[in-house]
Homo-oligomer: A and B are copies of this chain.
Amino acid sequence: MRPVFVAGAGMIPFERQDENTLGDILAGAGLAALDDVDLGKHEVGAVYLGNMASGLFNHQVSVASALVDRLALIPAAAERIENGPASGGSAVKNGVLAVASGYYDVVLVVGGEKMRDVIGPKATDIVAAMTHPHAEYIYGLTLPAMAGMFTRLYMEKYGVTREHLAMVAIKNQENGITNPYAHIQMKITMEGILEHPQSHINSPIIADPLHLYDCCPVSDGGAAVVLVSEEIAKTLKKPMVQIAGFGQATDTHTLAEREDPTELKAVRLAAVQAFSRAGLKPKDIDVAELHDAFTILEIAESEQAGFFKMGEGAKAVERGDTRIGGKLPINPSGGLKARGHPVGATGVAQIVDLVWQLRGEAGENQVEGAKNGFSLNFGGFGNNVLAFVLRRIS
């Protein structure tokens, strides 16, 4: 396999984008990444689009072909990659393989979703279309409901408290305030969401024990990266950031089939594969972007990806280890909680944020001297997970 590098990275703000179509969002993200790199004579050979549900959210398919036309990249190859909330990570993976194979030298990977074309609970229904149609969906199971059950079990088994969950939310919201691309830019406090007499109004229950501030928002947005071969990367001016390793693993499609529902086997395995390919260990990582669609997931993933022992993730949050300036900053971007979670965009946005960190371009959210980064994109309820290790070379 040829080594693969991120030559360009870009994003558009994650927010409610009523004025923009899905096509506008994807093109905006693609252009942001293309504008970040001077490719000279090299042309984009293929476009990979990470998007979960353009059909259900926007009544459109073949969106990747439309994007190629919009970006004036005809006759570049193009397809849409769908893997639920890990669609972005899957698009990056296939872009990496396309360059690694030697078939393409330059690939554009765009991730994006326009979720707010539908109204209110319809978005939760569309997201629930990733559950098992006969074993889960028909019983009304939604992702917040699955996350609520998972949270209860995890709290009981590992002594995680409501306060620990709130600490994750408070940290990520704080990081979001200084991230110009973040959807939610608002300070929250323990007092306001847990102790205030009005806390049941400030942060109402969504799926017990998860409250509003334990859940990511429903966002519109897009992110993109330009992947290139080593030969091309060497000719560019920016620091060289390599996709040093990736891993991907699946687990039972339904949550009920798992022997121990608190164990996220696909997270473990994807992380092990990514570290093994990169020749690095969790202790070598300087900054991580994890998939905190629900606060419990940041804690669970930080343990099961190997950064902390089981039961130690919540304590690490309590000690401030995962804040910017801590031992292992997690989600300095604000994560899904604050940056937002336009599903297909997330896995690509995580890579963009890591690239900015490793290049020293993360502004107020910079983790000083970061050289190695890790991202985790969580599909389904952990039934299809991707992990990436990124490394600054020069």
Contact = CB atoms under 8 A, between A and B. Distances in A.
Contact of A129 (B46, B53, B60, B75): B60
Interface in A130-155: 130, 132-134, 137
> Which of A74, A79, A252: most chain B Cβ within 10 A?
A79
Interface in A69-104: 69-70, 73-84, 87, 90, 93-94, 97-98, 100-103
A73 B250 CA distance: 9
B250 A133 contact: no
Interface in A249-269: 249-254, 257, 265-266, 269
Interface in A188-214: none
A73 B252 CA distance: 10
A383 B62 contact: yes
B380 A62 contact: yes
Interface string A1-44: 10000000000000000000101000000000000000000000
Contacts of A77: 93, 248-250, 384
A133 B269 contact: no
A379 interface: yes
Interface string A236-252: 00000000000011111
26 contacts: A1-B103, A55-B126, A55-B129, A56-B59, A58-B133, A59-B129, A61-B126, A62-B130, A62-B379, A62-B384, A65-B130, A65-B380, A65-B383, A68-B250, A73-B250, A74-B251, A74-B252, A77-B93, A79-B82, A80-B81, A80-B82, A94-B97, A97-B101, A97-B103, A100-B101, A101-B102
- Pick the 4 closest A-B CB pairs, nearest first: A55-B55, A62-B84, A62-B130, A101-B101
